[in-house]
């Protein structure tokens, strides 16, 4: 911490050579041009840019080192200008923008944002076009181009490793199921942007081997009091309903926001499996599960900005979840040759779950006097208590015998604390330094009590009764720097993380494990401008990084969990972290990614596996195990027509090829699988108030761990109409029009030979309504229409 404080004083002292540049942007009528984008490029280092927007008076300010700069100014409805300026002392300049000749009377111009754009090493997605067709944040992620979610709640980017989920820059250290539940409670219109980091730098946790998805929530940014009311539903075989309220307030020094959302949802899953064991004996299973649930989400946050350099923020979120899942599983064992039924039973399971997610966060940002210099600090605490109650009933039809009822309960408490501080400072020689410290701490306490009912007596179920405690502590520090070397931007650094993971099971038997290690994770990033094509900058990037994937706490708990009479699952306390080296080259045009190719080399890879207790037995267990190595080669391409006209689209394709080598059930493993994925988003403006959107994806020869998936995908449509002077938006949507988001699968590894089919309630028709209201300060009157104006070239 002393080093951080010393570095901060260096930051505030390093201003003696900086000069203030005041720019005023006007039009030929001498009127100010608000919200113009002004970018300055040093003549000697055109890749180091500084960007601001003009305020309502057309003014913007920069703090710069003396020198010559290229100023690039753009605004909707005006011709872009490029002008060289010299900064030697405090300077005031006025730049005049000329109107576009096509800006005729009666026509106003649209201020359109691209759906996808590239900013340094991250892709930024504007969620606004996806909001009307989504009932929650999880659905919005599913519709985001290039982002894919599986049935278990994992989210994937470039590779077959799941991406880490961040909210407002804080990693959500939860299980995939817990994160999915939280996102399904989050209103989609609370999201300001989605940052996709496929190759995150040393600033971010080294656990982002599959990349990072950072969800940025909205805050009160418009001057005055504003808000919105939203409600809607969608209907498949079951229905979802939601309603919510959002309030924002900004009086310059204080800005605040509040969200309240209620969700009632239901879904089903049909899972059919055929598994061969004992040579030619066949186990057929058909399981159907419904997932009714309801949640209440509330959030509040405030930011105090005493001046332009200091921001102090608080944000808090609480989610209450309640679910009541019901599952029926019919199992039949058949003789392979005769098809005669040898055994038949039905397992009914009812699971009631209540949970709470409480998040409290404090953050501070101090901007240096020099453009780009800043010091940020963030503290957050998360509490996740939950309770579960299950009732089991196994009815034996063949051979007949008394039914076996059972029940039990499980209570789990999880606490998380994170603290991080980051310093960004530009030193002599044009070197931009970043450094920081972070600590992440998790405490878990779980206990479960189950019992059978036999002849009216409760008999403890020693297999499922469990006591488990787990602690995780990760302490990290990083240092990285960037500099332009003759037109090539070099960013290099390293992150060091110390990991301590401890777990102890006391019931049903006493066992413990401990992992303690320190690892270094280098990062190298190169970029340069290649050329200009038709007025667009073509830029190339090269990235190398090393990452770690640590087992989640539920992967390490050895307590068995019964799924059905023939399958149970348990964790593996001997599971080791896996390490990946990633190499990627990519190209972007005008800040839009277009093509990328990369390789992931992973050792000690762990994956979910299914082992057979005995080759002659129908009983199997599901766990996680380190299998060996994996080499993944991937390719990604993206194309688009930029927004601004009546029609625009984004379309992409991704190829993944995985080659595994190692041991599976102590036998040599060699597994290879290649898959293709295509995705797209289209938007057509029917008239100035009505927009038709289409998005979809298709995956061919997909893969989920060692499950080989059949081809599947989804095509979604939405129609949005603005009403009441654009204060109200009415949306209609239909998801998975052709009911193709379901898949067959095959698992042939070791002694397991199984195939099956999986579907859920994916085809849904929906309707949403959002009404915006509010009072804004006078200085914004007349300007907001410019920001939301559209071509008045057609009728209503």
Full-model pTM: 0.81
To the question of domain 116-788 being in CATH 2.40.170.20, the answer is yes
| Enclosing H/E stretch for 21 | strand 19-26
Rounded to an integer, what distance in angstroms lies between the CA atom of residue 203 and that of residue 424? Answer: 11
Distance of alpha carbon 56 from alpha carbon 180, whole angstroms: 41
The C-alpha atoms of residue 776 and residue 774 are separated, in whole angstroms, by 7
* d(C-alpha 184, C-alpha 178), whole Å: 10
Q: What is the spatial distance between Cα 561 and Cα 181, in angstroms, rounded to a whole number?
A: 20
H helix or E strand, kind and range, residue 10: helix 2-13
pLDDT the model gives residue 177: 79
Tokens standing for residue 519: 């690892």
Predicted local distance difference test score (pLDDT) of residue 542: 94
First-to-final CA distance of the chain: 61
Q: What is the pLDDT of residue 9?
A: 38
Would you state the structure tokens that stand for residue 770, as one six-digit string? Answer: 């959002």
140: which residues sit within 8 A by CB, 6+ positions away? 127, 130, 131, 134, 188, 191
Q: What pLDDT score does 359 carry?
A: 95
Q: What's residue 46's pLDDT?
A: 52
Please state, in angstroms and rounded to a whole number, the distance separating the CA atoms of residues 475 and 461. 39
CB 199 within 8 A of CB 121: yes
Which CATH number does 2-96 carry? Answer: 2.60.40.10
Separation in Å, CA 748 to CA 699, 708, 735, 794 = 21, 9, 33, 59
Instruction: Give the integer Cα–Cα distance in Å for 219 and 545.
Output: 33
Q: Shortest CA distance to 713 belongs to which of 735, 681, 740, 749?
A: 740
pLDDT along the chain (796 residues), means of 10: 43 47 83 82 65 77 78 80 76 81 41 66 83 85 84 78 86 81 85 88 88 83 74 95 90 87 96 91 96 95 91 94 96 88 95 96 91 92 96 94 94 96 92 96 95 91 91 97 90 97 90 93 92 79 94 85 86 92 89 88 92 77 93 92 80 94 90 93 93 94 89 95 92 96 93 94 95 63 33 36
Would you say the C-alpha torsion 61, 64, 66, 67 has a positive or negative sign? negative
Domain boundaries, the chain: 2-96, 116-788
Element (DSSP H or E) covering residue 577:
none
Residue 706, token pair as written in the block: 């060692």
Q: Same fold for the domain at 2-96 and the one at 116-788?
A: no
Structure token digits, residue 445: 């306490």
């Amino acid at each position: 911490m002393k080093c951080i404080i010393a570095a901060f004083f260096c930051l505030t002292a390093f201003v003696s050579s900086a000069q203030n540049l005041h720019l005023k942007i006007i039009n030929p009528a001498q009127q100010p041009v608000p919200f113009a984008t002004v970018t300055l490029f040093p003549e000697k280092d055109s890749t180091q840019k500084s960007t601001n927007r003009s305020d309502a008076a057309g003014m913007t300010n920069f703090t710069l080192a003396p020198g010559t700069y290229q100023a690039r100014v753009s605004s909707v409805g005006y011709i872009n200008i490029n002008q060289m300026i010299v900064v030697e002392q405090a300077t005031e300049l006025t730049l005049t923008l000329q109107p576009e000749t096509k800006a005729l009377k009666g026509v106003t111009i649209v201020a359109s944002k691209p759906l996808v754009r590239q900013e340094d090493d991250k892709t930024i997605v504007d969620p606004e076009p996806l909001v009307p067709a989504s009932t929650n944040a999880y659905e919005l992620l599913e519709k985001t181009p290039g982002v894919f979610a599986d049935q278990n709640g994992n989210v994937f980017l470039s590779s077959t490793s799941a991406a880490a989920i961040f909210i407002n820059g804080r990693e959500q250290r939860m299980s995939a199921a817990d994160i999915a539940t939280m996102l399904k409670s989050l209103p989609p219109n609370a999201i300001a942007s989605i940052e996709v980091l496929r190759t995150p730098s040393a600033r971010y946790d080294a656990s982002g081997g599959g990349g990072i998805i950072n969800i940025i929530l909205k805050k009160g940014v418009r001057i005055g009091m504003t808000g919105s009311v939203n409600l809607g539903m969608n209907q498949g075989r079951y229905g979802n309903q939601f309603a919510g309220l959002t309030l924002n307030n900004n009086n310059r020094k204080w800005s605040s926001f509040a969200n309240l959302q209620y969700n009632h949802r239901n879904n089903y899953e049909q899972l059919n499996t055929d598994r061969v064991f004992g040579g030619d004996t066949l186990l057929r299973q058909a399981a159907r599960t419904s997932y009714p649930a309801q949640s209440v989400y509330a959030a509040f946050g405030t930011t105090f900005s005493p001046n332009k350099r200091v921001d102090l923020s608080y944000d808090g979120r609480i989610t209450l979840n309640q679910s009541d899942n019901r599952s029926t599983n019919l199992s039949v064992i058949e003789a392979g040759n005769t098809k005669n039924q040898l055994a038949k039973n039905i397992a009914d399971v009812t699971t009631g779950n209540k949970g709470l997610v409480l998040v409290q966060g404090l953050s501070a940002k101090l901007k240096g006097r020099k453009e780009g210099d800043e010091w940020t600090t963030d503290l957050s605490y998360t509490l996740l208590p939950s309770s579960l109650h299950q009732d089991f009933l196994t009815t034996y039809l063949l051979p007949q015998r008394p039914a076996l009822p059972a029940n039990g309960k499980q209570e789990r408490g999880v606490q998380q604390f994170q603290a991080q501080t980051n310093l960004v400072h530009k030193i002599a020689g044009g070197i931009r330094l970043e450094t920081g410290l972070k600590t992440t701490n998790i405490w878990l306490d779980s206990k479960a009590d189950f019992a059978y009912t036999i002849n009216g007596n409760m008999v403890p179920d020693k297999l499922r009764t469990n006591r488990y405690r787990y602690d995780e502590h990760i302490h990290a520090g990083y240092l990285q720097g960037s500099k332009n070397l003759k037109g090539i931007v070099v960013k290099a650094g390293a992150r060091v993380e110390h990991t301590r993971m401890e777990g102890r099971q006391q019931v049903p038997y006493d066992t413990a494990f401990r992992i303690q290690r320190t690892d270094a994770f280098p990062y190298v990033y190169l970029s340069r401008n290649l050329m200009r094509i038709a007025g667009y900058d073509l830029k190339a990037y090269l990235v190398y990084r090393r990452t770690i994937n640590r087992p989640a706490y539920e992967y390490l708990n050895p307590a068995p969990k019964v799924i059905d009479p023939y399958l149970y699952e348990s964790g593996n306390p001997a599971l080791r972290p896996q390490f990946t080296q990633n190499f990627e080259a990519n190209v972007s045009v005008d800040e839009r990614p277009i093509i990328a190719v990369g390789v992931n080399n992973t050792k000690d890879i762990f994956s979910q596996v299914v082992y057979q207790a005995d080759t002659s037995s129908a009983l199997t267990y599901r766990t996680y195990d380190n299998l060996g190595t994996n080499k993944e080669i991937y390719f990604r391409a993206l194309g688009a027509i930029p927004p601004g006209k009546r029609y625009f689209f984004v379309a992409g394709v991704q190829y993944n090829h995985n080659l595994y080598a190692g041991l599976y059930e102590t036998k040599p493993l060699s597994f290879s699988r290649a898959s293709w994925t295509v995705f797209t988003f289209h938007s057509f403006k029917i008239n100035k108030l009505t927009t038709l959107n289409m998005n979809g994806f298709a995956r061919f020869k997909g893969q989920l761990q060692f499950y080989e998936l059949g081809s599947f995908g989804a095509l979604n449509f939405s129609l949005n109409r603005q009403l009441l002077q654009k204060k109200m938006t009415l949306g209609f949507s239909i998801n998975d029009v052709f009911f193709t988001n379901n898949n067959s699968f095959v698992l042939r590894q070791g002694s397991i030979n199984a195939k099956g089919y999986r579907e859920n309630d994916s085809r849904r028709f929906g309707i949403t309504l959002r009404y915006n209201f509010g009072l804004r300060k006078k200085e914004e009157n007349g300007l907001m229409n410019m920001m939301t104006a559209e071509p008045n070239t057609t009728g209503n």
